[in-house]
């Protein structure tokens, strides 16, 4: 016996809408289920979400970009909220050497004194309006560049300190 089609105009309009709503309910439940499974071990959430290394790019092109426009700034690589913004710098003519990493605050201030880069230069302005060279920024403990054909920023030491609730900065 063939299935009967809805006869009234109202039922032909309402049944597809109800079917669509049912699909969204099923998708919502599936998403909730996945979130419940992922969050079972909250002590391991940072291990799953935080990156230990950040691949920046090709050594030759990055060194040329930094030579022309100044150091590169990468916000929130270690912690969210901009507290651990990382600055990647390169000096010298050899693209394979001369790479340094800094935090984006002055070495003589705390991490609340964020800096902004003077566009196209190697200089920064801090929270007090002082002009600083890139070398005046805070050197990070546990964060360093790994240089091969590409430049990668190793964040393992800083992430471990953040996981333990300690600061990698003064």
125 in any annotated domain: yes
CATH of the domain at 112: 2.102.10
Pair 24, 56 in one domain: no
Nearest Cα to 70, choosing from 54, 101, 96, 91? 91
Q: Are residues 66 and 30 in the same domain?
A: no
**In a shared domain, residues 58 and 21:** no
| Digit-coded pLDDT (tens) for 141-156 | 888 899 999 999 988 7
* Alpha carbon distance 169, 98 (integer Å): 23
Q: Do 29 and 66 have their domain in common?
A: no
Task: Write the pLDDT tens digit of every residue in 90-127.
Answer: 999 999 999 999 999 999 998 888 899 999 999 999 99
Based on the fold, state whether residues 102 and 20 are members of the same structural domain: no
21-77: pLDDT as tens digits: 999 999 999 999 988 887 776 555 554 455 678 889 999 999 999 999 999 998 876
Q: Is residue 101 assigned to a domain?
A: yes
State whether 112 and 56 are in the same domain: yes
CA–CA gap between residue 155 and residue 86 (Å, rounded): 10
In this structure, the answer to whether residues 69 and 148 fall within a common structural domain is yes
Residue length, the chain?
A: 170
Both 133 and 99 in one domain: the answer is yes
């Amino acid at each position: 016996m063939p299935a009967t089609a809805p006869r009234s105009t109202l039922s032909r309009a309402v049944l597809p809408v109800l079917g669509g709503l049912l699909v969204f309910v099923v998708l919502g439940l599936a998403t909730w289920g996945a979130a419940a499974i992922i969050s079972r071990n909250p002590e391991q959430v940072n291990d799953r979400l935080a990156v230990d290394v950040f691949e920046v790019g090709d050594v030759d092109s990055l060194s040329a970009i930094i030579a022309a426009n100044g150091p590169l700034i990468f916000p929130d690589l270690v912690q969210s909220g901009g507290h651990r913004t990382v600055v990647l710098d390169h000096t010298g003519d050899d693209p394979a050497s001369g790479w340094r990493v800094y935090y984006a605050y002055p070495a003589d201030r705390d991490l609340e004194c964020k800096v902004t880069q003077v566009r196209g230069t190697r200089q920064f302005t801090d929270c007090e309006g002082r002009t600083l060279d890139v070398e005046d920024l805070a050197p990070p403990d546990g964060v360093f560049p790994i240089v091969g054909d590409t430049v990668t920023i190793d964040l393992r030491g800083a992430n471990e300190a953040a996981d333990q609730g300690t600061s990698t900065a003064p």
